[in-house]
């Protein structure tokens, strides 16, 4: 399935390549194993744009995706590089929320992408605030899927606290009102009823 990237994500990825290093050598064409081998030998900064490219293009397994994001979250970045990296993550998450159910490349549904991204270690508001904005659209269906299906699988391994924060956020008055008053136009009546029963 060919991926059509959002303008924001394409721009963010280009910005990351522009920011991380002056000379990338063979990195733009390297496979994941080769990039990781060089990253682990002390070239993580130079390897980062290629790792992120493989990540957001969903060419990695869920486990490898989670490992990459965790590694990048553990790295000490200067402000410019951190901003460039986080813009890619923010753009990828926004694009994920804007795709209709069924348009995501399996297995990278919104709950899986979120599970991967929370491994970066940013405060959960970074991912939840944009989701609230997107309840007037596909974001409502994605939230319903999480509430009814739960958060588990490889992307959420070791992240029970963050998963609990997502469900706690979904139970807030702001989110419930958003679903009931705005998101309702994007959900089947029975699904909306089931979701609200779980949350209230």
Give residue-wise pLDDT tens across range 78-131: 999 999 999 999 999 999 999 999 999 999 999 999 999 999 999 999 999 999
69 contacts 108 by C-beta, under 8 angstroms:
no
5 pLDDT band, cuts 50/70/90, is: confident
Q: Spell out the residues 6+ positions from residue 143 whose beta carbon is closer than 8 angstroms to its own.
A: 131, 135, 170, 175, 179, 183, 195
d(CA 197, CA 200): 6
Task: Calculate mean pLDDT across residues 124-150.
Answer: 97
- pLDDT for the residue numbered 194: 98
């Amino acid at each position: 399935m060919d991926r059509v990237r959002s303008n924001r994500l394409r721009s963010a990825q280009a910005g990351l390549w522009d920011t991380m290093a002056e000379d990338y050598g063979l990195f733009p064409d390297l496979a994941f194993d080769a990039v990781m081998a060089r990253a682990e030998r002390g070239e993580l900064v130079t390897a980062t744009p290629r790792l992120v490219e493989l990540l957001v293009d969903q060419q990695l397994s869920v486990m490898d995706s989670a490992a990459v994001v965790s590694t990048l979250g553990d790295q000490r970045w200067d402000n410019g590089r951190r901003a460039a990296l986080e813009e890619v993550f923010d753009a990828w998450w926004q694009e994920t929320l804007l795709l209709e159910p069924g348009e995501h490349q399996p297995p990278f549904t919104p709950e899986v992408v979120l599970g991967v991204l929370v491994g970066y270690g940013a405060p959960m508001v970074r991912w939840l605030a944009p989701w609230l904005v997107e309840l007037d659209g596909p974001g409502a269906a994605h939230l319903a899927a999480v509430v009814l299906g739960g958060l588990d699988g490889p992307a959420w391994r070791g992240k029970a606290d963050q998963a609990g924060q997502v469900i706690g956020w979904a139970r807030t008055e702001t989110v419930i009102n958003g679903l009931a008053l705005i998101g309702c136009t994007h959900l089947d009546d029975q699904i909306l009823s089931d979701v609200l029963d779980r949350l209230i």
